[in-house]
Amino acid sequence: EPIEDKHALLDFINNISHSRNLNWDERTSVCNNWTGVTCNHDNSRVIAVRLPGIGFRGHIPLNTLGRLSALQILSLRSNAFSGPFPTDLLELGNLTGLYLQFNNFQGPLPWNFSVWKNLNGLNLSNNGFNGSIPSSITNLTHLTALGLANNSLSGDIPDLNIPSLQLLDLSNNNLTGVVPRSLLRFPSSAFVGNKISPETSQPPVLPPTAQPKKHSSKFSESAILGIVIGSSALAFVLIALLLIVTNRKKADEKAIAVKSEKKEKSLKRTTSERHDTNGKLVFFEGCNLAFDLEDLFRASAEVLGKGTFGTTYKAALEDATTVAVKRLREVSIGRKDFEQQMEVVGNIRHENVAPLRSYYYSKDEKLMVYDFYDLGSVSVLLHAKRGEDRIPLDWETRMKIAIGVARGIAYIHLQNVGKLVHGNIKASNVFLNSQKYGCVSDLGLAPLMSPITPRIMRTAGYRAPEITDTRKVSQASDVYSYGVLLLELLTGKSPVHAVGGEEVIHLVRWVHSVVREEWTGEVFDVELLRYPNIEEEMVAMLQIGMSCVARMPEQRPKMANVVKMVEDIRSVNTDNQPSSETKWPGSTPSLIPPVAQIGSSSVS
Ligand SMILES: Nc1ncnc2c1ncn2[C@@H]1O[C@H](COP(=O)(O)OP(=O)(O)OP(=O)(O)O)[C@@H](O)[C@H]1O
């Protein structure tokens, strides 16, 4: 454990008064569950300290936090710290996030901001800082969010030519002069409550108000604005919190607008207390996101959907990053087992597996935090509004999805001494990685829950037949689900879909029957007909898909073999296809049986 860091933290806590007790016991390891403290992967350094709302008062003790030289995130917001800006913090050259808002700091800002060259979130709002905004702030080239609102800052606004900056709030200070050119892209609300001369500062767009919109994407946009605007919007940001935290209400955005600020403040306090004492947000390696639990609960949240294991929200954090938060329900195992499973899942780093960034466990609340995928899931890409103005998912991309997913699952199957199961392969859990290859999410959740409930139809189409009896997912059942996904990519049809009103068709059975009657050409998605020279590949993929959905688990190929088969399709055909842009890695060509032979052994 990092002894030096531990001593620095103990020196800090022993020299400051605070109203809530922390569990910082010097006999325990600083990396082991100390409230608000996060260590790096090998527990050799403390990298984040998040202590919002602990009731600290007085000056930050000298020569304490400044010794945490590996610190990346420091959040001391919503306390009652006073005194000048703690210059010790200038020692922390690795900081990416500094959150000191809602305290009673006073005096000038530090003049040499440039020491924090990696800083991307800085919030010093709601303090008593005065003097001018130092021009050195312009050197923070990674800054994405800057909050200086509700202080007593004066003088001109520096020309903050920082292209990465997405959120800015300078409102309610004593700033004068004009809004510099580089900042005209921000809404006027970022500057209100100052003495800025009106003629020259003509902000481009005046956002109406922070009223929440009735529906989703707009809701989140206005929510971000809301945070910037400040107090009036605090209302609905905090209701979003309510939405995630209390489990009492469904998303009812209308109610959000009418809540009074007073009420929310107290709500907020209870919430943060409840969560800080109960549980801890655990981060995994490579998580550069600057957020703490309160950020998560304060974030504007939009429901993405309800799944088998819970509800997933899109949450916009204060520093303008967006994450997907999965709120689990009906977790049937205890903390230890839960944490163990999270460690396995969270330490998987593979380009075809969506990284779990962080998780949270307390008695009432279990959360998992992922990167947010802008393009949406493969389910959306494949099925959303088929029609004239739709850009179809081209064959190239479908192949890359299939290859990526196969590689991701094969890698998962190697973990935990070859015992890990994904357990929930389906199109809504597959996203595109930065190279546009498939990337699987939502793995390893089945062991957390009570036995699988067959009532959920959306999953049913991907579920291997033996699960009806065994009630357990396995690597072989992952292979089956992958096969269904392949059929979905090839046919453009959802695994369970209604045809002619009520009727529900099972995709696997449907494909079998079409192939059996030698109508193979009919199974393929009409959207794929426009691409030349892909029949061979489509047929070969169909064969792989059908071998994966063999009825008997032992007849299905292992995932590692599936990877080879899928990759081989490309290496076989690239010779004949000069049009293919990508050179696919692969080994020797596999022998592909004629279509008529597939399925005969596997039809149910
Ligand atoms: N990281 C993410 N980025 C973008 N969208 C996501 C993310 N994670 C989930 N979603 C989307 O949110 C919705 C709800 O997801 P969720 O995982 O809760 O349910 P599901 O995938 O429908 O079912 P299940 O719980 O069985 O996985 C889905 O449409 C899913 O594609």
Ligand 1 in reach of 143 Cβ (< 6 A): no
Instruction: Give the tens place of pLDDT for each residue, 111-120.
Output: 888 899 999 8
pLDDT band for position 402 (50/70/90)?
A: very high
Residue whose token pair is 């998912």: 393
128: helix, strand or coil:
strand
Q: Nearest residue CA, atom 16 of ligand 1? A: 307
pTM: 0.60
- The C-alpha atoms of residue 10 and residue 399 are separated, in whole angstroms, by 55
Of ligand 1's listed atoms, the one at least distance from the Cα of 371 is 1
Both ends of the chain: CA-CA distance in Å? 57
State in Å: Cα 279 to ligand 1 middle: 24
Of ligand 1's listed atoms, the one at least distance from the Cα of 373 is 3
Does residue 194 surpass a pLDDT of 50? yes
Tell me which of 377, 401, 440 to substitute to probe ligand 1's pocket, judged by most ligand atoms within 8 Å of the beta carbon. Answer: 377
Question: CA torsion angle for 57, 58, 64, 65 (degrees, to 10)?
Answer: 60
pLDDT of residue 101: 87
Does residue 555 surpass a pLDDT of 60? yes
Q: Nearest residue CA, atom 31 of ligand 1? A: 428
Instruction: Give the tens place of pLDDT for each residue, 583-602.
Output: 333 322 333 333 433 433 33
Ligand 1 in reach of 481 Cβ (< 6 A): no
Burial profile 14-28: b = 16 or more Cβ within 10 angstroms, e = fewer: eebeeeeebebeeee
Ligand 1 in reach of 307 Cβ (< 6 A): yes
Instruction: Give the tens place of pLDDT for each residue, 310-353.
Output: 889 888 776 667 889 998 887 778 888 888 888 899 889 999 99
Instruction: Give the tens place of pLDDT for each residue, 236-288.
Output: 333 344 444 443 333 333 222 223 222 222 212 233 333 444 566 677 765 55
State in Å: Cα 407 to ligand 1 middle: 20
197: helix, strand or coil:
coil
pLDDT of residue 502: 54
State in Å: Cα 305 to ligand 1 middle: 6
